[in-house]
Structure 1
C-alpha cells in the first residue's frame, strides 16, 4: 500500500505513518527508503524524534543507535534488533507490504 510521497520523505527525512494499525516511521537514509517500527525496542522511546548519522538511527532517549540495513543495535545495549519492513518506490510513492506488517515473524 502507498504510505508517503517520495519527495515528502526526502525533504523531511523521517515521516510517521500508520499501516494496518501499526505505527511505523519511514526514513530516508543514504539514498534509500527504510521502514521500521516507531518505538525503540529498548525503552519504547519515539524514534521519530531521533536523528540520523552514517546510516544509523539514534534513539532520542538513550543514544543507542540502530543500523538501518539490518536493525542491529549498537554494541553494548541489551535489546533485540529494530524491526525493519520491506519498502519499494513506485510512481513517486513509498509502498509498504501490509502483509509483512501483520506477519507474526516481524
Structure 2
C-alpha cells in the first residue's frame, strides 16, 4: 500500500494506487491509509468498496465490524451502512457513511479521493 497520490487534477481530486489487485487476499475488511485518510476496504459480493474507517456516529473503528448482505455493521452500536450509498439503517439519525469507488485494474487497486 503506497497511499501516495499518483495523479492529481485541479488540486482537488487524487487518484491513488492502494496496492496490488489481490491486496485483500481472502479478507473481507482491510484497513488502509490513502492520501492521509484512514479508510476501510470492504469486499462484498465480488466488488470492493472503500469507506471511511471511523463510524460517523461515535467514531468506532469499522474495521472491527462485519460485512453482511451488502451492509457494513458497526461493532459498537450495531447500526449498519448500505455499501451502495452509505445510508444508515432505520432507527438511527446521523449522516451516511462516506464511500469511495475502488477501481480494480491490471496494475492494482485504485481509489479516487476528492
TM-score range, shorter chain: 0.7 to 0.9
1:81 aligns with 2:96: yes
1:42 aligns with 2:57: yes
State how far apart, in whole Å, the 2-side matches of 1:30 and 1:65 are: 17
Unaligned stretches of 5+ residues in structure 1: 101-106
Of 25, 42, 54, which residue of structure 1 is paired with 2:40?
Answer: 25
Q: Which residue of 2 aligns with 1:95?
A: 110
State how far apart, in whole Å, the 2-side matches of 1:28 and 1:86 are: 12
Helix, strand or coil for the counterpart of 2:85? Answer: coil
Q: Which residue of 2 aligns with 1:65?
A: 80
- Bigger helix share: 1
Runs of 4+ that moved beyond 3 A:
none
Alignment length (residue pairs) = 99
Q: Which residue of 2 aligns with 1:8?
A: 23
- Bigger strand share: 2
Offset from partner CA, 1:26-54 (integer Å, 9 cap, x none): 11111101011000001100000000110
State how far apart, in whole Å, the 2-side matches of 1:10 and 1:31 are: 13
Q: Which has the larger radius of gyration?
A: 2
- How far the C-alpha of 1:23 sits from its partner, in A, is 0.3
Using the size of structure 2 for normalisation, the TM-score is: 0.81
CA RMSD of aligned residues (A): 1.3
Unaligned stretches of 5+ residues in structure 2: 1-15
Assess if the C-alpha contact under 8 Å between 1:39 and 1:47 holds in 2: yes
